[in-house]
Amino acid sequence: MIRAEDCEGERFISFAAASEARMRIDWQFAECAVTRDLGVEVALAQSVVAMVEAGLGVALVHALTAQHASARVGVKRFAPALPVALHVVCGAQRQATALSDACVRHAAAALVRLR
């Protein structure tokens, strides 16, 4: 497990400054009085992982992103845990169906198991 204090001075690949993830991450490090080297800023989690894979730094990403990337980069849990808001995106012209509702419930249960 990696703690916030372990990241002192590390070169970080960060999400865009206005993103919710970035604000939560920055807040957590400020609370722990940890200073990071914020070198690169990107918008997409896949880009963050690609830059970590290229050796440009380290990053905090969502558990699903980390699980998908674990074959390409080292993945360790981070403490303290950060709250993450996820949203279901559906087509604007489509009504929810019993199948889509079941899919959302299944995905939510899987996310709980990842924590």
Q: What is the pLDDT of residues 35-81, one digit of tens each?
A: 999 988 999 988 999 999 998 999 998 888 888 888 888 888 898 88
Q: What is the pTM (predicted TM-score) of this model?
A: 0.72
pLDDT at residue 86 above 70? no
d(CA 49, CA 55): 10
pLDDT of residue 94: 67
Q: Which domains does the chain have, with CATH numbers?
A: 2-85 (3.40.190)
Q: What CA–CA distance (Å, rounded) separates 25 from 60?
A: 8
Q: Is the dihedral of CA 80, 64, 35, 30 positive or negative?
A: negative
Amino acid residing at 34: V
- How many Å apart are CA 36 and CA 7, to the nearest integer? 7
* Other CB atoms within 10 A of residue 94 CB: 8
